[in-house]
Chains A and B, each alone.
Chain A
Amino acid sequence: MMFKKLRNSFSQVPLLGWLLGALIAVVLEYYLGDALADVLRLPKIPVLFGFVIMLKKPLLIPSVLIFVMLIYALPIGAVARLSAPVTNRLVAWLFKLPMIISVAIHLGFLYAILHLWSDISAYRVLTLKLTMIAIIVTLSLNVINGYMGEFSCSHPGFMALGAYGASVFTVVLFAKDKLFGAAILPAALGPYMFPVALIIGGIFAALGALVIAIPSFRTRGDYLAIISLAFMFIVKSMIENLEIVGGPRGLSSQPDYANLPTVFLWTVACVWIINNFVRSTLGKSLNAVRDDEMAANAMTVNTRQTKIVAFLFSAFWAGVAGGLFAHVLRYVNPGTFGLQKLAEVLAMVYFGGLNSVYGSIVGAVSLSMLSEALRPLEIFKWIIIPLLLILVMIYRPTGLIAFKEFDVKKLIKPKHKQEKEV
């Protein structure tokens, strides 16, 4: 009863209210975090909501809980609830303006929160960037595995193509490297050309995807899975044999272009474009091909075109993610894009939920955060995470949030008081 009441009262908080609360919490942490950590005798601000510290030093659990309570839970809850009347009115007013303004304001808030939150430590920045890249890869794989119902194993290969394509572009043009010699263009131009580099990486990956898209006309299911798996091995082995890009030693000295705003913008662009894609006619025809290819064909769906577009589109985003990945770590080697990566990406897609943009975001964020938070457990991490996934698969075989549309309008609309049930 109590819980229901609480839930009812919080259900009036619009998204903007939550964002405002989170922003206040992050500001609090930014200015008071160190002092509070001192008072509570914590070595420093708990980096990932205290998970790491709690697992490492169980004695500190109470102080970590107090810290999380005071810095995150209380301010977020209080601000969100108390500001609800104001934010609701604000959101209602914004709602009358064009959507784009409203969305931009929400994204601005989100970015401010992430920026302040990650400003505390370099570790947070790296985790955040890798999480966002994981979102891009997961979404792009969901287009094939969820929306089109194939089992593609080739995404690490696409990522590798994108990573190397983008890296070679930036390293040749803007960096001094022992493989490619001095920079050709002035370094000041670099950050402006970075999107071009990523797009080139994406196009590289998309061209590679033709190798899988064309056989997919004749076969599907397990045989296509093998073809894509073989493709992944071929890409990895090809890069290992290309001495010009460093072979198995990898390619380093990528310039530091992938800062947080860049990665954030690309992630937002990816979510936006993929969400629009899967809700378009073409996206719906993916579902038709998945459910019954012959019937789809009879209903004037051009199955070949659908398949090829889906593969190229998905590979493009995987390539972009690969390019970002290479520039975040500023080092790539072909060994990264192997079976391990494949298992990781597949796990994210199926954990989050098939056929759903929400699900991909949830899957990517929760699994990457979980694997960071459980780091102190060392190898037992790799028992707990798989067990969790098996449980999810047994009780929700299509993933946590499957078959759910991502509706921006519904997300940001004002939440007025619900009428009492009669």
Chain B
Amino acid sequence: MTYFFQNLVNALQWGSFYALIALGYSMVYGILMLFNFAHGDIFMVGAYIGFGVATGVTALASFGAIALPNWLILVLTIIISMFLTSFVGMLVERLGYRPLREAPRASAAITGLMIGIILETGNLAMLGAKRVRFPSLIKSTTYNIGGVFVTNKKIMIVAVSLMLMLALHQFVRRTKYGMAMRAMAFDYVVVPLMGVSINTIAAMTFAIGSALAAAAGILFGVAYPVLDPYMGIVFGWKAFVAAILGGRGSILGACMAGFLLGFIEIFVAMIFPSTLRDLIAYSIILLILTFRPHGFFGEPYSARLRL
């Protein structure tokens, strides 16, 4: 039983990475009806920006007279990197997606894939092929709760991601911009005629999604402090799967499916040999989608899809 709970904790941690990244996919899908395939690589860029910011802030703190506590550095890192990465997201939208808004959706998907490759290669060209170590900002302490070992990092990761999800939920439900986003997701043809600029809303959606991905990247760096330029690929595609599984454009669905994916992966690895993880995890997803083709919270299939 403790073994089960131990894995539950791990699954929660993995699920929060997936959920945070899947949110970006799902929101962009809700507004523009297309998937931003560069999103996994924005996660990677976010992790690297976080690495840069953390190193920079630590250096500044050590030079300056003020001694910043480590947790404050981490909070600063997360906030600054989210802010910086959101510009990366907006840039991707401006250069890669805005010119293609009327094009077939598959073309936009290809553009996204290619932007992802450019981000990976650009990173490789700038920083070289060696992996970088994310600075360890918080010291790992392990608590033993009834036989289950929980580190403070894991608690922090799950707490921070839940907080971000709640914040996003409040933003979308309570603010004017959130209302504009919901309206745009409801009908992206009519709402621009009502004076809501689709360009602003799309850029904002990309910015928010990228900021969440950056947060996921930093949290990942805290938990597994080795970063490499290709780490975004697998995460990106898995989060894409989660976003679809949750139902397209559904924020709640993306969160839940992200956690579900984390659970499936961890528990499959717990019961079966870990080499079978992908095989069984994807078979389960295939089964779910065969019997529930539009995900958990998605609208049923409509014939009015663009090519």
Contact with A along B86-114 (1 / 0, CB 8 A): 00000000011001100111111111011
* Residues of chain A from 215 to 239 with CB closer than 8 A to chain B in the complex: 215, 218-223, 225-227, 229-231, 233-234, 236-238
Chain B residue, CB-CB nearest to A387: B118
Residues of A within 8 A of B111 (CB): 389-390, 393-394
Q: How far is A379 from B290 in the complex, measured between Cα atoms in Å? A: 40
Known contacts A234-B279, A347-B114; decide if A393 and B107 are in contact (CB<8 Å). Answer: yes
- Taking a contact as CB atoms under 8 Å apart, the answer to whether B307 and A226 are in contact is no
Given contacts A215-B293, A383-B118, contact A223 B244 (CB under 8 A): yes
Tell whether B149 is near chain A: CB-to-CB under 8 Å. no
A residues within 8 A CB of B117? 343, 382, 386
B279 near A383 with CB under 8 A, answer no
- Minimum CB–CB distance for A410 against chain B, Å: 27
Q: Are B241 and A383 in contact (CB under 8 A)?
A: no
Chain A residues lying within 8 Å of B303, measured Cβ to Cβ, are 292-294
Contact A343 B285, beta carbon cutoff 8 Å: no
Complex CA distance for A387 and B111, rounded to whole angstroms: 9
B69 interface residue per 8 A CB criterion: no
B240 at the interface (CB under 8 A from A): yes
Cα-based distance from A339 to B113 in the complex (angstroms): 11
A213 to chain B, nearest CB (A): 12
Interface pair B276/A241, CB less than 8 Å apart? yes
CB-CB nearest in chain B for A233: B282
Which residues on A sit within 8 Å (CB–CB) of B114? Answer: 347, 386-387, 389-390, 393
Residues of B within 8 A of A339 (CB): 233-234, 237
Q: Assess A237 versus B107: contact at CB under 8 Å? Given A211-B286, A215-B290, A383-B125.
A: no
B294 within 8 Å of A by Cβ? Answer: yes
* The one of B95, B107, B115, B244 that contacts A386, using a Cβ cutoff of 8 Å: B115
What chain A residues lie within 8 Å of B295 (beta carbons)? 223
Chain B, interface size category, equals 35 or more
Cβ contact of B100, chosen from A214, A346, A380, A397, cutoff 8 A: A397
Q: Judge whether B193 is part of the interface by a CB distance below 8 angstroms.
A: no
Pick the residue among A151, A219, A354, A394 that contacts B289 (CB under 8 A): A219
Residues of chain B within 8 A (CB-CB) of A227 are 286, 289-290
List B contacts of A218 (CB < 8 A): 290, 293, 301
How many A residues face the partner with a CB closer than 8 A? 47
C-alpha spacing A240/B277, complex, angstroms: 11
Q: Does A356 contact B (CB under 8 A)?
A: no
Complex: how many Å from CA A398 to CA B106? 9
The residue that B279 contacts in the complex, of A223, A241, A386, with Cβ under 8 A, is A241
Are B244 and A237 in contact, CB atoms less than 8 angstroms apart?
Answer: no
Interface contact B240-A226, CB-CB below 8 Å? yes
Is residue A106 within 8 Å, beta carbon to beta carbon, of the partner chain? no
A290 at the interface (CB under 8 A from B): yes
A149 in the interface, Cβ–Cβ < 8 Å? yes
Q: Residue A145 at the B interface, CB < 8 A? A: yes
Assess whether B110 is in contact with A347, with CB atoms less than 8 Å apart. yes
B118 contact set on A, CB distance < 8 A: 382-383, 386-387
Instruction: List residues of B (153-175) whose CB comes within 8 Å of A's CBs.
Output: none
B 120-152 to A, binary, CB cutoff 8 A, 1 in contact else 0: 111011000000000000000000000000000
| Contact in complex: B113, A346 (CB < 8 Å) | yes
A76 to chain B, nearest CB (A): 33
B187 at the A/B interface (Cβ < 8 Å)? Answer: no
**What is the chain A residue whose CB lies nearest that of B106?**
A151
Residues of A within 8 A of B125 (CB): 379-380, 383
User: Within the assembled complex, what's the spacing in Å between the Cα atoms of A236 and B234?
Assistant: 14
B35 contacts the other chain (CB 8 A): yes
Across-interface contacts of B29 in A (CB, < 8 A)? 222
- In the bound complex, do residue B282 and residue A383 qualify as a contact, i.e. CB atoms below 8 Å apart? no
CA distance A227 to B240 in the complex (A): 12
Do residues B110 and A350 form an inter-chain contact, with CB atoms below 8 A? yes
A290 touches B241 (CB 8 A): no
B307 close to A290 (CB less than 8 A): yes
Q: CB-CB contacts of A322-349 with B at 8 A, as 1s and 0s?
A: 0000000000000000010001001100
A238 to B286, CA, bound (A): 14
In angstroms, Cα B289 to Cα A236, docked, is: 20
- Asked if B283 is at the interface of the complex by the 8 Å CB criterion, the answer is yes
The residue among B99, B104, B120, B305 with the most chain A CB atoms within 10 A of its own CB is: B104
Per the bound structure, the CA–CA distance linking A354 and B105 in Å amounts to 13
Contact with B along A392-406 (1 / 0, CB 8 A): 011001100000000
Residues of B within 8 A of A397 (CB): 100, 103-104, 107
Are B233's CB and A234's CB within 8 A? no
A293 contact set on B, CB distance < 8 A:
303
**Which residues of chain B have C-beta atoms less than 8 A from A234's C-beta?**
278-279, 282-283, 286
Q: Which of A331-384 contact B (CB under 8 A)?
A: 339, 343, 346-347, 350, 354, 379-380, 382-383
Query: How many angstroms from the CA of A229 to the CA of B120 in the assembled complex?
Result: 21
Supposing A222-B244, A382-B121 touch, asked if A390 and B282 sit within 8 A by C-beta, the answer is no
Instruction: Please give, as numbers and ranges, the residues of chain A lying within 8 Å of B286 by CB-CB distance.
Output: 211, 215, 227, 230-231, 234
Given contacts A215-B289, A218-B293, A233-B282, contact A398 B121 (CB under 8 A): no
Question: 1/0 per residue A92-113: CB within 8 Å of B?
Answer: 0000000000000000000000
A68–chain B nearest beta-carbon distance, Å = 29
Distance in Å: Cβ of A384 to nearest Cβ of chain B = 9
B39 within 8 A of A: no
With a CB–CB cut-off of 8 A, which chain B residues contact A240? 275
A393 touches B110 (CB 8 A): yes
- A234-B282, A383-B118, A386-B114 known; A219 vs B96 contact (CB < 8 Å): no
Closest residue of A by beta carbon distance from B122? A383
Q: Which residues of A contact B277 (CB under 8 A)?
A: 237
Given A241-B276, A379-B121, A379-B125, 17 more A-B residue pairs with CB atoms under 8 Å apart are A218-B293, A219-B289, A219-B293, A226-B245, A227-B286, A227-B289, A229-B237, A233-B279, A234-B278, A240-B275, A350-B110, A382-B117, A382-B118, A382-B120, A383-B125, A386-B118, A398-B107
Chain A residues close to B by CB (< 8 Å): 145, 149, 151, 211, 214-215, 218-223, 225-227, 229-231, 233-234, 236-238, 240-241, 290, 292-294, 339, 343, 346-347, 350, 354, 379-380, 382-383, 386-387, 389-390, 393-394, 397-398
| 8 intermolecular pairs with C-beta atoms under 8 Å apart | A223-B295, A226-B240, A226-B289, A227-B286, A230-B286, A237-B279, A339-B233, A383-B122
Closest 4 A/B residue pairs (Cβ): A397-B103, A219-B293, A386-B114, A237-B278
